[in-house]
Structure 1
Protein backbone atom coordinates (compact mmCIF):
# COMPACT_ATOMS: atom_id res chain seq x y z
CA UNK A 1 0.00 0.00 0.00
CA UNK A 2 1.40 3.40 -0.97
CA UNK A 3 1.78 6.32 1.42
CA UNK A 4 -0.98 8.17 -0.43
CA UNK A 5 -3.33 5.18 -0.09
CA UNK A 6 -2.63 4.90 3.63
CA UNK A 7 -3.16 8.63 4.04
CA UNK A 8 -6.52 8.50 2.25
CA UNK A 9 -7.54 5.52 4.36
CA UNK A 10 -6.60 7.33 7.57
CA UNK A 11 -8.49 10.47 6.60
CA UNK A 12 -11.58 8.39 5.79
CA UNK A 13 -11.56 6.83 9.27
CA UNK A 14 -12.35 10.28 10.71
CA UNK A 15 -15.47 10.78 8.61
CA UNK A 16 -17.84 8.83 10.84
CA UNK A 17 -18.00 6.58 13.85
CA UNK A 18 -15.26 6.20 16.45
CA UNK A 19 -12.08 4.15 16.14
CA UNK A 20 -9.29 3.12 18.49
CA UNK A 21 -5.81 4.40 17.62
CA UNK A 22 -3.32 2.41 19.72
CA UNK A 23 0.21 3.74 20.04
CA UNK A 24 3.15 1.53 19.00
CA UNK A 25 6.82 2.16 19.64
CA UNK A 26 8.70 -0.47 17.58
CA UNK A 27 8.10 -3.03 14.85
CA UNK A 28 7.08 -5.76 17.25
CA UNK A 29 4.51 -3.64 19.06
CA UNK A 30 3.16 -2.42 15.71
CA UNK A 31 2.62 -5.99 14.53
CA UNK A 32 1.08 -7.07 17.83
CA UNK A 33 -1.36 -4.15 17.76
CA UNK A 34 -2.18 -4.80 14.10
CA UNK A 35 -2.86 -8.45 14.95
CA UNK A 36 -5.17 -7.23 17.70
CA UNK A 37 -7.40 -5.68 15.05
CA UNK A 38 -6.23 -2.05 14.98
CA UNK A 39 -7.25 -0.14 11.85
CA UNK A 40 -4.50 2.46 12.25
CA UNK A 41 -1.56 3.15 14.55
CA UNK A 42 0.00 6.15 16.22
CA UNK A 43 3.51 6.54 17.55
CA UNK A 44 4.21 7.51 21.15
CA UNK A 45 7.00 9.93 21.99
CA UNK A 46 7.23 8.43 25.48
CA UNK A 47 7.45 4.89 24.15
CA UNK A 48 10.14 5.86 21.65
CA UNK A 49 12.18 7.53 24.40
CA UNK A 50 11.86 4.55 26.74
CA UNK A 51 12.88 2.16 23.96
CA UNK A 52 16.08 4.23 23.66
CA UNK A 53 16.65 4.20 27.41
CA UNK A 54 15.69 7.85 27.81
CA UNK A 55 13.05 9.88 29.59
CA UNK A 56 10.04 11.25 27.74
CA UNK A 57 10.65 14.39 25.62
CA UNK A 58 14.24 13.34 24.92
CA UNK A 59 13.83 12.35 21.26
CA UNK A 60 14.75 14.41 18.19
CA UNK A 61 12.65 14.90 15.09
CA UNK A 62 15.02 12.67 13.11
CA UNK A 63 14.67 9.90 15.69
CA UNK A 64 10.89 10.27 15.74
CA UNK A 65 10.69 9.97 11.98
CA UNK A 66 13.12 7.03 11.91
CA UNK A 67 10.81 5.31 14.39
CA UNK A 68 7.78 6.15 12.25
CA UNK A 69 9.43 4.55 9.22
CA UNK A 70 9.94 1.37 11.25
CA UNK A 71 6.23 1.27 12.14
CA UNK A 72 5.19 2.03 8.56
CA UNK A 73 7.36 -0.83 7.27
CA UNK A 74 6.04 -3.25 9.92
CA UNK A 75 2.37 -3.23 8.83
CA UNK A 76 0.05 -2.01 6.09
CA UNK A 77 -1.81 0.26 8.51
CA UNK A 78 -1.85 4.05 8.32
CA UNK A 79 0.45 5.61 10.93
CA UNK A 80 0.12 9.00 12.59
CA UNK A 81 3.05 10.39 14.58
CA UNK A 82 3.23 12.10 17.93
CA UNK A 83 5.50 14.99 16.95
CA UNK A 84 5.37 16.77 20.29
CA UNK A 85 5.74 20.56 19.98
CA UNK A 86 6.54 20.44 16.27
CA UNK A 87 10.24 20.43 17.15
CA UNK A 88 10.66 24.17 17.22
CA UNK A 89 8.94 27.30 18.50
CA UNK A 90 8.29 29.09 15.21
CA UNK A 91 5.40 28.52 12.80
CA UNK A 92 7.87 27.56 10.07
CA UNK A 93 9.33 24.89 12.37
CA UNK A 94 5.89 23.29 12.57
CA UNK A 95 5.41 23.56 8.81
CA UNK A 96 8.79 21.96 8.17
CA UNK A 97 7.92 19.15 10.58
CA UNK A 98 4.68 18.42 8.71
CA UNK A 99 6.51 18.30 5.39
CA UNK A 100 9.14 15.95 6.85
CA UNK A 101 6.43 13.75 8.36
CA UNK A 102 4.66 13.39 5.03
CA UNK A 103 7.94 12.65 3.27
CA UNK A 104 8.55 9.86 5.80
CA UNK A 105 5.27 8.26 4.72
CA UNK A 106 3.10 9.24 7.67
CA UNK A 107 -0.65 9.65 7.24
CA UNK A 108 -0.87 12.38 9.86
CA UNK A 109 0.71 13.86 12.94
CA UNK A 110 -0.09 15.73 16.13
CA UNK A 111 1.42 19.05 17.16
CA UNK A 112 1.11 20.40 20.71
CA UNK A 113 0.92 23.96 22.01
CA UNK A 114 3.76 23.25 24.46
CA UNK A 115 7.02 25.20 24.68
CA UNK A 116 9.49 22.80 26.41
CA UNK A 117 10.00 25.63 28.94
CA UNK A 118 9.07 24.45 32.44
CA UNK A 119 8.59 28.05 33.62
CA UNK A 120 6.09 28.81 30.84
CA UNK A 121 5.00 25.47 29.36
CA UNK A 122 2.19 26.63 27.04
CA UNK A 123 2.55 28.93 24.03
CA UNK A 124 0.58 32.15 24.16
CA UNK A 125 -2.72 31.98 22.31
CA UNK A 126 -1.71 33.94 19.20
CA UNK A 127 1.59 32.08 18.83
CA UNK A 128 -0.12 28.72 19.30
CA UNK A 129 -2.66 29.50 16.57
CA UNK A 130 0.01 30.78 14.18
CA UNK A 131 1.95 27.54 14.59
CA UNK A 132 -1.07 25.39 13.72
CA UNK A 133 -1.99 27.66 10.82
CA UNK A 134 1.48 27.23 9.30
CA UNK A 135 1.33 23.46 9.84
CA UNK A 136 -2.09 23.33 8.17
CA UNK A 137 -0.88 25.32 5.16
CA UNK A 138 1.98 22.84 4.76
CA UNK A 139 -0.42 19.90 5.08
CA UNK A 140 -2.82 21.29 2.47
CA UNK A 141 0.06 21.77 0.02
CA UNK A 142 0.77 18.02 0.01
CA UNK A 143 -0.39 15.92 -2.96
CA UNK A 144 -2.46 13.61 -0.73
CA UNK A 145 -4.51 13.86 2.48
CA UNK A 146 -2.64 14.39 5.73
CA UNK A 147 -4.52 14.49 9.04
CA UNK A 148 -3.12 17.33 11.14
CA UNK A 149 -4.16 16.99 14.77
CA UNK A 150 -3.76 20.06 16.99
CA UNK A 151 -3.31 19.45 20.71
CA UNK A 152 -4.16 21.83 23.56
CA UNK A 153 -2.08 20.68 26.52
CA UNK A 154 -3.46 22.78 29.40
CA UNK A 155 -4.69 19.84 31.46
CA UNK A 156 -1.34 18.03 31.22
CA UNK A 157 0.59 21.06 32.45
CA UNK A 158 -1.28 22.17 35.54
CA UNK A 159 -3.66 24.56 33.78
CA UNK A 160 -7.12 22.98 34.16
CA UNK A 161 -8.86 25.78 32.29
CA UNK A 162 -11.57 24.25 30.10
CA UNK A 163 -12.67 27.58 28.65
CA UNK A 164 -9.15 28.41 27.45
CA UNK A 165 -8.70 24.86 26.16
CA UNK A 166 -11.89 25.09 24.11
CA UNK A 167 -10.94 28.56 22.87
CA UNK A 168 -7.64 27.17 21.63
CA UNK A 169 -9.19 24.11 19.99
CA UNK A 170 -11.80 26.23 18.19
CA UNK A 171 -9.05 28.54 16.94
CA UNK A 172 -6.94 25.57 15.84
CA UNK A 173 -9.92 24.22 13.92
CA UNK A 174 -10.44 27.58 12.25
CA UNK A 175 -6.71 27.70 11.43
CA UNK A 176 -7.03 24.46 9.46
CA UNK A 177 -6.41 21.58 11.86
CA UNK A 178 -8.22 18.42 10.76
CA UNK A 179 -8.62 16.86 14.21
CA UNK A 180 -8.64 18.38 17.71
CA UNK A 181 -7.18 16.89 20.86
CA UNK A 182 -7.01 17.96 24.50
CA UNK A 183 -5.40 15.22 26.59
CA UNK A 184 -6.53 14.53 30.16
CA UNK A 185 -9.96 16.15 30.06
CA UNK A 186 -11.50 15.71 33.50
CA UNK A 187 -14.90 14.18 32.80
CA UNK A 188 -17.47 13.28 30.16
CA UNK A 189 -19.09 16.71 30.41
CA UNK A 190 -15.78 18.31 29.37
CA UNK A 191 -15.39 15.84 26.51
CA UNK A 192 -18.91 16.58 25.25
CA UNK A 193 -18.23 20.33 25.53
CA UNK A 194 -15.10 20.00 23.37
CA UNK A 195 -16.90 17.87 20.78
CA UNK A 196 -19.74 20.37 20.57
CA UNK A 197 -17.43 23.38 20.33
CA UNK A 198 -15.39 22.15 17.36
CA UNK A 199 -18.09 20.23 15.49
CA UNK A 200 -18.16 18.98 12.81
CA UNK A 201 -14.40 18.44 13.04
CA UNK A 202 -13.36 15.18 14.72
CA UNK A 203 -12.04 15.00 18.28
CA UNK A 204 -9.37 12.66 19.61
CA UNK A 205 -9.52 11.65 23.28
CA UNK A 206 -6.69 10.19 25.34
CA UNK A 207 -8.32 6.96 26.59
CA UNK A 208 -11.17 8.79 28.32
CA UNK A 209 -11.96 11.17 31.16
CA UNK A 210 -9.58 11.37 34.12
CA UNK A 211 -12.54 10.82 36.41
CA UNK A 212 -12.57 7.20 35.21
CA UNK A 213 -12.25 5.38 31.91
CA UNK A 214 -15.41 4.36 30.10
CA UNK A 215 -16.10 1.96 27.20
CA UNK A 216 -15.28 3.11 23.70
CA UNK A 217 -19.02 2.99 22.94
CA UNK A 218 -19.65 5.70 25.55
CA UNK A 219 -17.07 7.99 23.96
CA UNK A 220 -18.57 7.31 20.53
CA UNK A 221 -22.01 8.24 21.88
CA UNK A 222 -20.51 11.53 23.10
CA UNK A 223 -19.37 12.28 19.53
CA UNK A 224 -15.68 11.36 19.89
CA UNK A 225 -14.20 10.06 16.61
CA UNK A 226 -10.78 8.78 17.73
CA UNK A 227 -9.35 7.36 20.96
CA UNK A 228 -5.59 7.01 21.44
CA UNK A 229 -3.57 5.49 24.29
CA UNK A 230 -0.53 7.76 24.45
CA UNK A 231 2.31 5.97 26.20
CA UNK A 232 0.05 3.68 28.24
CA UNK A 233 0.58 0.45 26.31
CA UNK A 234 4.35 0.98 26.21
CA UNK A 235 4.29 1.88 29.90
CA UNK A 236 2.42 -1.31 30.71
CA UNK A 237 4.96 -3.39 28.79
CA UNK A 238 7.98 -1.84 30.49
CA UNK A 239 6.45 -1.82 33.96
CA UNK A 240 5.52 -5.48 33.60
CA UNK A 241 9.09 -6.22 32.58
CA UNK A 242 10.30 -4.34 35.68
CA UNK A 243 7.98 -6.38 37.90
CA UNK A 244 9.06 -9.69 36.43
CA UNK A 245 12.72 -8.72 36.54
CA UNK A 246 12.43 -7.77 40.22
CA UNK A 247 10.64 -11.03 40.96
CA UNK A 248 13.38 -13.03 39.24
CA UNK A 249 16.19 -11.22 41.05
CA UNK A 250 14.37 -11.73 44.34
CA UNK A 251 14.16 -15.45 43.65
CA UNK A 252 10.41 -15.61 43.02
CA UNK A 253 10.74 -17.73 39.90
CA UNK A 254 7.18 -19.14 40.16
CA UNK A 255 5.97 -15.57 39.48
CA UNK A 256 7.33 -15.89 35.95
CA UNK A 257 5.18 -18.94 35.30
CA UNK A 258 2.17 -16.62 34.98
CA UNK A 259 3.43 -15.31 31.63
CA UNK A 260 1.69 -17.04 28.68
CA UNK A 261 3.77 -18.89 26.06
CA UNK A 262 5.02 -16.96 23.05
CA UNK A 263 2.87 -18.63 20.41
CA UNK A 264 0.53 -15.64 20.03
CA UNK A 265 3.48 -13.27 19.71
CA UNK A 266 5.15 -15.47 17.11
CA UNK A 267 1.92 -15.60 15.14
CA UNK A 268 1.80 -11.81 15.02
CA UNK A 269 5.35 -11.49 13.71
CA UNK A 270 6.84 -12.07 10.28
CA UNK A 271 9.71 -14.27 9.13
Structure 2
Protein backbone atom coordinates (compact mmCIF):
# COMPACT_ATOMS: atom_id res chain seq x y z
CA UNK A 1 0.00 0.00 0.00
CA UNK A 2 1.10 3.54 -0.74
CA UNK A 3 0.94 6.68 1.35
CA UNK A 4 -2.27 7.51 -0.53
CA UNK A 5 -3.82 4.21 0.58
CA UNK A 6 -2.67 4.87 4.15
CA UNK A 7 -4.12 8.38 3.98
CA UNK A 8 -7.45 6.97 2.80
CA UNK A 9 -7.65 4.79 5.92
CA UNK A 10 -8.03 7.99 7.97
CA UNK A 11 -11.07 9.31 6.14
CA UNK A 12 -14.73 8.36 5.92
CA UNK A 13 -14.69 6.39 9.16
CA UNK A 14 -17.71 6.00 11.43
CA UNK A 15 -17.30 7.74 14.82
CA UNK A 16 -17.18 4.42 16.68
CA UNK A 17 -14.62 2.97 14.25
CA UNK A 18 -11.36 4.94 14.49
CA UNK A 19 -8.26 3.61 12.78
CA UNK A 20 -6.38 1.45 15.29
CA UNK A 21 -2.62 1.29 14.68
CA UNK A 22 -0.66 -1.10 16.91
CA UNK A 23 2.93 -0.13 17.61
CA UNK A 24 5.55 -2.78 16.74
CA UNK A 25 9.06 -2.49 18.15
CA UNK A 26 10.71 -5.14 15.99
CA UNK A 27 10.03 -7.43 13.05
CA UNK A 28 8.41 -10.26 15.01
CA UNK A 29 5.96 -7.98 16.86
CA UNK A 30 5.10 -6.36 13.53
CA UNK A 31 4.28 -9.76 12.02
CA UNK A 32 2.04 -10.62 14.98
CA UNK A 33 0.03 -7.41 14.52
CA UNK A 34 -0.18 -7.79 10.74
CA UNK A 35 -1.24 -11.44 11.03
CA UNK A 36 -4.00 -10.33 13.43
CA UNK A 37 -5.50 -8.35 10.56
CA UNK A 38 -4.63 -4.75 11.37
CA UNK A 39 -4.54 -2.73 8.12
CA UNK A 40 -1.48 -0.65 9.07
CA UNK A 41 1.07 -0.16 11.85
CA UNK A 42 2.78 2.80 13.53
CA UNK A 43 6.14 2.39 15.22
CA UNK A 44 6.55 3.96 18.70
CA UNK A 45 10.01 5.44 19.17
CA UNK A 46 10.07 4.68 22.91
CA UNK A 47 9.38 0.98 22.34
CA UNK A 48 11.91 0.73 19.51
CA UNK A 49 14.46 2.45 21.74
CA UNK A 50 13.83 -0.04 24.55
CA UNK A 51 14.19 -2.98 22.16
CA UNK A 52 17.58 -1.61 21.07
CA UNK A 53 18.81 -0.95 24.60
CA UNK A 54 18.36 2.83 24.68
CA UNK A 55 16.38 5.22 26.83
CA UNK A 56 13.47 6.98 25.14
CA UNK A 57 14.94 9.72 22.97
CA UNK A 58 18.41 8.20 23.01
CA UNK A 59 18.36 6.09 19.85
CA UNK A 60 20.89 7.19 17.21
CA UNK A 61 19.19 8.10 13.94
CA UNK A 62 20.92 5.34 11.95
CA UNK A 63 19.72 2.68 14.36
CA UNK A 64 16.15 4.01 14.39
CA UNK A 65 15.95 4.04 10.60
CA UNK A 66 17.44 0.55 10.42
CA UNK A 67 14.87 -0.73 12.92
CA UNK A 68 12.01 0.84 10.95
CA UNK A 69 13.35 -0.74 7.75
CA UNK A 70 13.37 -4.20 9.37
CA UNK A 71 9.78 -3.72 10.51
CA UNK A 72 8.66 -2.55 7.06
CA UNK A 73 10.36 -5.51 5.35
CA UNK A 74 8.67 -7.98 7.67
CA UNK A 75 5.04 -7.11 6.83
CA UNK A 76 2.84 -6.40 3.82
CA UNK A 77 0.83 -3.58 5.43
CA UNK A 78 1.82 0.10 5.46
CA UNK A 79 3.99 1.33 8.31
CA UNK A 80 4.27 4.84 9.74
CA UNK A 81 7.54 5.68 11.47
CA UNK A 82 7.94 7.68 14.67
CA UNK A 83 11.00 9.83 13.96
CA UNK A 84 10.84 11.77 17.24
CA UNK A 85 11.85 15.39 16.55
CA UNK A 86 13.68 14.50 13.34
CA UNK A 87 17.20 13.97 14.72
CA UNK A 88 18.28 17.45 13.65
CA UNK A 89 18.20 16.43 10.00
CA UNK A 90 17.25 18.93 7.27
CA UNK A 91 13.82 18.28 5.81
CA UNK A 92 15.12 16.82 2.57
CA UNK A 93 17.46 14.39 4.28
CA UNK A 94 14.82 13.36 6.82
CA UNK A 95 12.29 12.63 4.08
CA UNK A 96 14.86 10.70 2.05
CA UNK A 97 15.90 8.58 5.04
CA UNK A 98 12.29 7.72 5.91
CA UNK A 99 11.42 6.83 2.32
CA UNK A 100 14.51 4.59 2.14
CA UNK A 101 13.04 2.50 4.98
CA UNK A 102 9.85 1.91 2.98
CA UNK A 103 7.65 3.66 5.55
CA UNK A 104 4.67 5.61 4.19
CA UNK A 105 4.20 8.00 7.11
CA UNK A 106 5.99 9.84 9.89
CA UNK A 107 5.19 11.03 13.38
CA UNK A 108 7.07 14.26 14.19
CA UNK A 109 7.20 15.87 17.65
CA UNK A 110 7.10 19.61 18.32
CA UNK A 111 9.35 19.57 21.38
CA UNK A 112 13.12 19.42 21.14
CA UNK A 113 15.32 16.81 22.86
CA UNK A 114 15.52 19.11 25.89
CA UNK A 115 11.71 18.85 26.19
CA UNK A 116 11.05 22.48 25.37
CA UNK A 117 8.29 23.26 22.89
CA UNK A 118 9.49 24.43 19.51
CA UNK A 119 8.09 27.85 18.61
CA UNK A 120 4.87 27.05 16.69
CA UNK A 121 5.61 29.06 13.54
CA UNK A 122 9.07 27.48 13.32
CA UNK A 123 7.55 24.00 13.63
CA UNK A 124 4.94 24.87 11.01
CA UNK A 125 7.72 26.00 8.66
CA UNK A 126 9.52 22.69 9.21
CA UNK A 127 6.35 20.75 8.46
CA UNK A 128 5.85 22.79 5.30
CA UNK A 129 9.41 21.96 4.22
CA UNK A 130 8.81 18.26 4.86
CA UNK A 131 5.58 18.38 2.87
CA UNK A 132 7.33 20.14 -0.01
CA UNK A 133 10.10 17.54 -0.03
CA UNK A 134 7.80 14.53 0.36
CA UNK A 135 4.89 15.62 -1.81
CA UNK A 136 2.19 13.01 -1.30
CA UNK A 137 4.70 10.23 -0.62
CA UNK A 138 4.45 10.54 3.18
CA UNK A 139 1.52 10.84 5.57
CA UNK A 140 2.56 13.44 8.16
CA UNK A 141 1.28 13.07 11.72
CA UNK A 142 2.21 16.25 13.63
CA UNK A 143 2.51 15.63 17.35
CA UNK A 144 1.46 18.48 19.66
CA UNK A 145 3.17 18.35 23.07
CA UNK A 146 1.35 21.11 24.96
CA UNK A 147 -0.43 18.67 27.28
CA UNK A 148 2.83 16.86 28.05
CA UNK A 149 4.85 19.92 28.98
CA UNK A 150 2.46 21.69 31.32
CA UNK A 151 1.87 24.94 29.44
CA UNK A 152 -0.93 27.22 30.60
CA UNK A 153 -4.22 26.39 28.83
CA UNK A 154 -2.75 23.45 26.90
CA UNK A 155 -6.01 22.95 24.98
CA UNK A 156 -5.96 26.43 23.47
CA UNK A 157 -2.26 26.11 22.73
CA UNK A 158 -2.84 22.73 21.08
CA UNK A 159 -5.59 24.17 18.89
CA UNK A 160 -3.38 27.07 17.81
CA UNK A 161 -0.53 24.73 16.92
CA UNK A 162 -2.78 22.18 15.24
CA UNK A 163 -4.27 24.80 12.95
CA UNK A 164 -0.82 26.00 11.94
CA UNK A 165 0.38 22.45 11.33
CA UNK A 166 -2.62 21.50 9.21
CA UNK A 167 -2.19 24.68 7.17
CA UNK A 168 1.47 23.72 6.69
CA UNK A 169 0.48 20.36 5.22
CA UNK A 170 0.12 17.94 8.13
CA UNK A 171 -2.33 15.13 7.40
CA UNK A 172 -3.17 14.50 11.06
CA UNK A 173 -2.43 16.08 14.44
CA UNK A 174 -1.60 14.26 17.65
CA UNK A 175 -2.26 16.21 20.87
CA UNK A 176 -0.53 13.60 22.97
CA UNK A 177 -1.64 13.40 26.57
CA UNK A 178 -4.91 15.24 26.01
CA UNK A 179 -7.43 14.20 28.69
CA UNK A 180 -10.68 12.63 27.61
CA UNK A 181 -12.72 15.72 28.47
CA UNK A 182 -10.57 17.84 26.15
CA UNK A 183 -11.18 15.72 23.05
CA UNK A 184 -14.62 17.10 22.04
CA UNK A 185 -13.27 20.67 22.06
CA UNK A 186 -10.24 19.63 20.03
CA UNK A 187 -12.53 17.89 17.53
CA UNK A 188 -14.68 21.02 17.15
CA UNK A 189 -11.73 23.35 16.68
CA UNK A 190 -9.34 21.28 14.56
CA UNK A 191 -9.80 20.39 10.91
CA UNK A 192 -8.73 16.93 9.83
CA UNK A 193 -7.87 13.68 11.58
CA UNK A 194 -6.89 13.60 15.26
CA UNK A 195 -4.66 10.94 16.83
CA UNK A 196 -4.99 9.90 20.47
CA UNK A 197 -3.06 7.40 22.52
CA UNK A 198 -4.86 4.55 24.26
CA UNK A 199 -3.63 3.51 27.68
CA UNK A 200 -4.65 1.05 30.39
CA UNK A 201 -7.77 2.22 32.17
CA UNK A 202 -8.70 4.64 29.38
CA UNK A 203 -11.77 4.19 27.17
CA UNK A 204 -11.37 1.78 24.27
CA UNK A 205 -11.08 2.76 20.63
CA UNK A 206 -14.86 3.04 19.97
CA UNK A 207 -15.27 5.40 22.96
CA UNK A 208 -12.32 7.49 21.81
CA UNK A 209 -13.84 7.63 18.34
CA UNK A 210 -17.12 8.92 19.70
CA UNK A 211 -15.16 11.68 21.46
CA UNK A 212 -13.75 12.80 18.09
CA UNK A 213 -10.60 10.74 17.65
CA UNK A 214 -9.80 9.52 14.12
CA UNK A 215 -6.91 7.20 14.89
CA UNK A 216 -5.66 5.40 17.98
CA UNK A 217 -2.05 4.52 18.75
CA UNK A 218 -0.45 3.03 21.86
CA UNK A 219 2.99 4.52 22.37
CA UNK A 220 5.14 1.91 24.14
CA UNK A 221 2.07 0.44 25.87
CA UNK A 222 1.95 -2.82 23.92
CA UNK A 223 5.62 -3.49 24.62
CA UNK A 224 5.04 -2.81 28.31
CA UNK A 225 2.16 -5.32 28.37
CA UNK A 226 4.43 -7.86 26.66
CA UNK A 227 7.14 -7.27 29.25
CA UNK A 228 4.61 -7.82 32.04
CA UNK A 229 3.78 -11.20 30.52
CA UNK A 230 7.49 -12.06 30.24
CA UNK A 231 8.04 -11.15 33.88
CA UNK A 232 5.17 -13.39 34.89
CA UNK A 233 6.59 -16.30 32.91
CA UNK A 234 10.06 -15.63 34.28
CA UNK A 235 8.71 -15.82 37.81
CA UNK A 236 6.98 -19.12 37.02
CA UNK A 237 10.15 -20.55 35.49
CA UNK A 238 12.19 -19.53 38.52
CA UNK A 239 9.55 -20.96 40.84
SS state at 2:2 partner: helix
Q: Which residue is equivalent to 1:115?
A: 112
- The residue correspondences of 1:62-211 to structure 2 (distance < 5 A) are 62-88=62-88, 93-118=90-115, 121-140=116-135, 144-159=136-151, 161-187=154-180, 189-199=181-191, 201-207=192-198
SS state at 1:24 partner: coil
Q: Which residue is equivalent to 1:267?
A: none
Q: Is the 8 A contact 1:30 1:74 kept in 2?
A: yes
Of structures 1 and 2, the larger Rg is shown by 1
- The residue correspondences of 1:200-239 to structure 2 (distance < 5 A) are 201-207=192-198, 213-239=202-228
Query: Following the alignment from structure 2 to structure 1, what is the Cα–Cα distance between the partners of residues 2 and 120?
Result: 33
The answer to which of 157-166 and 47-56 deviates more is: 157-166
| Count of aligned pairs | 234
The answer to which of 73-82 and 61-70 deviates more is: 61-70
**Per-residue deviation at 1:176?**
0.9
Query: Following the alignment from structure 1 to structure 2, what is the Cα–Cα distance between the partners of residues 36 and 157?
Result: 35
Q: Is the 8 A contact 1:11 1:145 kept in 2?
A: no
Q: Which residue is equivalent to 2:53?
A: 53
Q: Is the 8 A contact 1:22 1:229 kept in 2?
A: yes
Q: Which residue is equivalent to 1:260?
A: none
Q: Which residue is equivalent to 1:241?
A: 230
- Structure 2 unmatched runs, 5+: none
TM-score normalised per structure 2: 0.90
- Structure 1 unmatched runs, 5+: 253-271
Per-residue CA deviation, residues 129-173 of structure 1 (Å, 9 max, x unaligned), is 222221222222xxx532111111122233361111111111101
Per-residue CA deviation, residues 219-246 of structure 1 (Å, 9 max, x unaligned), is 2223322101111001221233234335
The structure whose RCO (Cα within 8 Å, separation 6+) is larger is: 2
Q: Which residue is equivalent to 1:39?
A: 39
Q: Is the 8 A contact 1:22 1:41 kept in 2?
A: yes
**Per-residue deviation at 1:38?**
0.9
The answer to which of 68-77 and 235-244 deviates more is: 235-244
Q: Is the 8 A contact 1:95 1:136 kept in 2?
A: no
* 2:2 counterpart of 1:6: yes
Q: Is the 8 A contact 1:87 1:94 kept in 2?
A: no
**Per-residue deviation at 1:8?**
2.5
TM-score normalised per structure 1: 0.80
